[in-house]
Amino acid sequence: MFAGKQAQGPSSTANGTTNGAANGAAHSPNALPSSTLMVQHLAGNFVISSGSTLFRRAPRTAELELCILHQPRKHKYILPKGRKDYGESLEAACLRETYEETGYPCELVPLRMPTRATQPGDLAGRDVSVVRDAMVEPVGVTVMDREDKGGKLIMWYVTRLKDGAAKVDGTQMASENYESQFIEARRAISLLTLPQHRDLARQALELILSTEASLGRKVI
């Protein structure tokens, strides 16, 4: 459910947002339980974005470092993210936006992680959380309500710096003025302004460490 919306019964708004429990819940045998709250945003009234936690091993110490963005004017520290282009996959949007905002070429990291995604060919399709290996799936989802602009859904992935890649200048949009920097992972997490970003980065770090412990080798 998009944050900030309280379903008080089915209703539609001028910006194409529908609030409320499932229509006809009291009459249809196939309806969702009355306690299930839903918010629906129609075409043109929602944004789908993708972002990542970008890691590398420090060249000298080999310790894990996280790349964060500093907004000097607002003095905020954030993670890279942005809207996906039409026809673009979430994974491709993640890599593009991370590269554009940080200047660092990157790639997705397969991790051992819990997921509710079903295995290809699984006809049972049970909605349970299962820990699986080599998963390239979102490690978090941020859901926002932007009032008159509708909803915003952000899918977060874990990325790593490509081998031998150097920072590229001039990748940001004209409206962006970010300073990207790799910092020791736990310190970088503590610097992030938003608690949601800190939670995402902490989750990503824990998954990296647990994956490396399981495999007996480094994945970053």
Instruction: Give the DSSP letter string of 94-107.
Output: HHHHHHHHH---EE
188 contacts 201 by C-beta, under 8 angstroms: yes
In the three-class reduction of DSSP (H, G, I as helix; E, B as strand; rest coil), residue 41 is classed as strand
Structure token digits, residue 148 = 């008159």
The reported pLDDT for the residue numbered 58 is 97
Q: What does the domain layout of the chain look like in residue ranges?
A: 11-41, 47-215
54 contacts 78 by C-beta, under 8 angstroms: no
| pLDDT digits (tens), the chain, 220 positions | 444 344 444 455 555 655 554 444 445 555 556 667 788 889 999 999 999 999 999 999 999 999 999 998 889 999 999 999 999 999 999 999 999 999 999 999 999 999 999 888 887 878 899 999 999 999 999 999 887 888 999 999 999 999 989 998 888 877 778 899 999 999 999 999 999 999 999 999 999 999 999 999 999 9
User: According to CATH, what is the number of the domain 47-215?
Assistant: 3.90.79.10
The reported pLDDT for the residue numbered 174 is 74
The reported pLDDT for the residue numbered 28 is 54
